[in-house]
């Protein structure tokens, strides 16, 4: 299933936070119970704010872990997706920062 956000909305998934212990053991994302709040943009809408900010797929953003709307889509990794709103004013936007 393909989802195309409308207007100033973006589709995101939680960014990979794979960690390696000192002894070299790789801990998958599922080992970390806390959500990082860092998301990778998967799809973008065609709204004015998105165009102004130059948001595009692949960028990383920071949003509150309870913000946005969760979307249930099945893929090969059981990835959880969210739709976030990118507003003009800071208090109305789900996205609070970009990660470089």
Gap between the Cα atoms of 76 and 44, Å rounded: 22
For 57-79, what is each residue's pLDDT tens digit? 999 999 988 889 998 887 777 78
Percent share of the chain, pLDDT over 70: 85
Residue 94 sits in a domain whose CATH number is: 2.30.33.40
Closest CA to 37 of 92, 98, 88, 90: 98
Task: Mark out the alpha helices in the chain (DSSP H runs).
Answer: 48-53
Gap between the Cα atoms of 36 and 14, Å rounded: 8
- Residue 36's pLDDT band (cuts 50, 70, 90): low
pTM: 0.78
What is the pLDDT at residue 76?
A: 72
What is the pLDDT at residue 23?
A: 83
28 within a domain of the structure (yes/no): no
| Number of structural domains the chain divides into | 1
Q: Give residue 94's domain range.
A: 9-15+36-99
Q: Are 88 and 47 in contact (CB under 8 A)?
A: no
30 within a domain of the structure (yes/no): no
């Amino acid at each position: 299933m393909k989802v195309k956000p409308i207007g100033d909305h973006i589709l995101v998934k939680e960014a990979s936070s794979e960690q390696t212990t000192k002894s070299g053991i790789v801990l998958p994302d599922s080992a970390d119970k806390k959500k990082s709040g860092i998301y990778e943009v998967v799809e973008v809408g065609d709204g004015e704010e998105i165009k102004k900010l130059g948001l595009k797929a692949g960028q990383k953003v920071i949003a509150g872990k309870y913000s946005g709307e969760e979307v249930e889509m099945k893929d090969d990794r059981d990835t959880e997706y969210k739709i976030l709103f990118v507003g003009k004013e800071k208090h109305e936007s789900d996205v609070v920062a970009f990660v470089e």
